[in-house]
């Protein structure tokens, strides 16, 4: 049950509608998902998070599809239902196939398993793994 009243696309104050319009343009989409409608209830957060997402998810040394898959890996580990759905949809829009999703989830599962084996056995970090800087 959402904690605040969502701001609807088309019924927002100009400052908020401008962000909605920018999101739609950037995504070549004609609708706004609930994430932004909720954040619009707190304009400073709306502006900050949209600026952050634009910067961090942009193509760079890592391509946007891989970034979406990293997002899914985190969201599954944290069990964020909203984020699992929204970023799986986003990754599919960027070309993630069903087989890729299944392999992604297999990796996420195994990483969560071996994280606990490493912690449970209190494995010492190998000297060779420690970064060296002169």
Q: What distance, in Å, lies between the first and last C-alpha atoms of the chain? A: 53
Phi, psi of 7 (to 5 degrees): -95, 120
**Listed residue (63, 72, 60) closest to 106, CA to CA:** 72
The whole-angstrom separation of Cα 45 and Cα 23 is: 15
Q: Is 94 in the site for its own copies (CB under 8 A)?
A: no
| Contacting residue, 3, 10, 25, 30, with its own copies by CB under 8 A | 3
Q: How far is the CB of 13 from its own copies (least distance, A)?
A: 16
Touching its own copies, residues 103-132 (CB under 8 A)? 103-126, 128-131
Residue closer to its own copies by CB (options 21, 103) is 103
Q: Is 75 in the site for its own copies (CB under 8 A)?
A: yes
Q: Is 77 in the site for its own copies (CB under 8 A)?
A: yes
| Contacting residue, 60, 91, 94, 95, with its own copies by CB under 8 A | 60
As to burial, measured by CB atoms within 10 angstroms (0-12 exposed, 13-18 middle, 19+ buried), residue 43 is middle
Max Cα distance, the chain (Å): 59
Binding mask 15-54 for its own copies (x = CB under 8 A): ----------------x-xxx--xx-xx-xx--xx--xx-
Q: What would the two tokens of residue 41 be?
A: 């209830």
Q: Is 11 in the site for its own copies (CB under 8 A)?
A: no
């Amino acid at each position: 049950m959402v904690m605040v009243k969502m701001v609807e696309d088309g019924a927002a104050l100009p400052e908020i509608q401008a962000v909605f319009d920018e999101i739609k343009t950037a995504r070549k989409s004609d609708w706004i998902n609930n994430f932004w409608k909720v954040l619009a209830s707190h304009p400073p957060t709306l502006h900050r998070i949209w600026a952050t997402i634009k910067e961090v998810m942009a193509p760079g040394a890592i391509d946007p599809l891989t970034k979406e898959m990293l997002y899914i890996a985190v969201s599954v580990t944290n069990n964020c239902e909203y984020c699992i759905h929204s970023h799986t949809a986003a990754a599919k829009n960027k070309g993630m196939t069903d087989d890729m999703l299944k392999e992604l989830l297999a990796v996420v599962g195994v990483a969560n398993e071996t994280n606990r084996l490493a912690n449970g056995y209190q494995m010492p970090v190998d000297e060779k793994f420690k970064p060296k800087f002169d």
